[in-house]
Chain A
Amino acid sequence: ETGVTQSPTHLIKTRGQQVTLRCSSQSGHNTVSWYQQALGQGPQFIFQYYREEENGRGNFPPRFSGLQFPNYSSELNVNALELDDSALYLCASSSYRDRGLNEQFFGPGTRLTVL
């Protein structure tokens, strides 16, 4: 069974640039959630993708967008990068259920630094 993978591991961007982060879900999972973890903080929910559509969004501006592909992998795109976007971005995959436990399995994260 393949776990959740993310790429790249680290990257450095400058303010105003755009970035794309990638996530491959665990085998058998059809849902991907993205979280932002600022230094010294707990992860904050950005959004979730299920069946290639956004299925819930946290308190993040529209310049944070995403995609999910037919193989359930996902991308997180951030436009017009700001210094405060510097963080660890975590991807978590799960099997969607209308009700009940939807346990999420996390990837190792992508560390984004905005200069």
Chain B
Amino acid sequence: AQTVTQSQPEMSVQEAETVTLSCTYDTSESNYYLFWYKQPPSRQMILVIRQEAYKQQNATENRFSVNFQKAAKSFSLKISDSQLGDTAMYFCAFMKPYGNNRLAFGKGNQVVVIP
């Protein structure tokens, strides 16, 4: 079974600054998908960014970017120009590209953006 590990359970960042969240995972698969989800206090799980393992280029979505290191099984998220609306729990998740495509989540990182 895949395991996803997130450390640094809570992080604070000043508005407009940059914060980086770490994620490591364990798998024997060669191809897979990785995701970062955001869960604000409203509880809705929102997809932030995804990465396909066979793509070497790091994914970017506006202020969000990832650093994907396949050999190290590392997948970090960088939030640039932090905004108050970025305050949320952030979950790293792993998915195999076949079968029932279940998501395996880490325990999450709480990010608090301070005005």
A residues contacting B by CB (< 8 A) are 33, 35, 40-45, 48, 50, 55-56, 58, 88, 90, 92, 94, 97-104, 106-109, 111
Cα–Cα distance between A50 and B91 once the two chains are bound (Å): 25
- Interface size class of chain B, counting residues whose CB lies under 8 Å from the partner chain: 20 to 34
Cα–Cα distance between A11 and B106 once the two chains are bound (Å): 26
Instruction: Specify the chain B residue showing the minimal Cβ separation from A55.
Output: B100
- List the 3 closest pairs (A to B, CB-CB), nearest first: A42-B105, A56-B100, A102-B101
B102 within 8 A of A: yes
Q: Would you call A45 and B103 a contact (CB within 8 A)?
A: yes
Q: Would you call B102 and A58 a contact (CB within 8 A)?
A: yes
Q: Decide yes or no: A106 and B45 within 8 Å by CB, A99-B97, A100-B97, A101-B97 being known contacts.
A: yes
B95 within 8 A of A: yes
Interface residues of B in 62-77 (CB under 8 A from A): none
Which of A43, A48, A55 has the most B CB atoms < 10 Å from its CB?
A43
Instruction: Specify the chain B residue showing the minimal Cβ separation from A46.
Output: B102
Q: Would you call A33 and B91 a contact (CB within 8 A)?
A: no
Instruction: Specify the chain A residue showing the minimal Cβ separation from B92.
Output: A42
Q: Would you call A94 and B101 a contact (CB within 8 A)?
A: yes
Q: Would you call A88 and B43 a contact (CB within 8 A)?
A: yes
Q: Chain A's nearest CB lies how many Å from the CB of B101?
A: 4
Q: Would you call A43 and B45 a contact (CB within 8 A)?
A: yes
Additional A-B contact list (6), CB under 8 Å, known A42-B105, A42-B108, A50-B100: A40-B108, A41-B107, A42-B91, A108-B44, A109-B44, A111-B43
Q: Would you call A56 and B45 a contact (CB within 8 A)?
A: no
Chain B residues whose C-beta falls within 8 Å of the C-beta of A41 in the assembled complex: 107-108
Q: Chain B's nearest CB lies how many Å from the CB of A38?
A: 10
Interface residues of B in 37-77 (CB under 8 A from A): 42-47, 50, 52
Q: Which of B93, B95, B102 contacts A48 (CB 8 A)?
A: B102
Q: Would you call B95 and A102 a contact (CB within 8 A)?
A: yes
Instruction: Write 9 A-B pairs (CB below 8 A) sorted by A numbering.
Output: A33-B102, A44-B105, A45-B104, A48-B100, A101-B50, A102-B95, A102-B101, A106-B45, A109-B44
Chain B residues whose C-beta falls within 8 Å of the C-beta of A102 in the assembled complex: 95, 97, 101
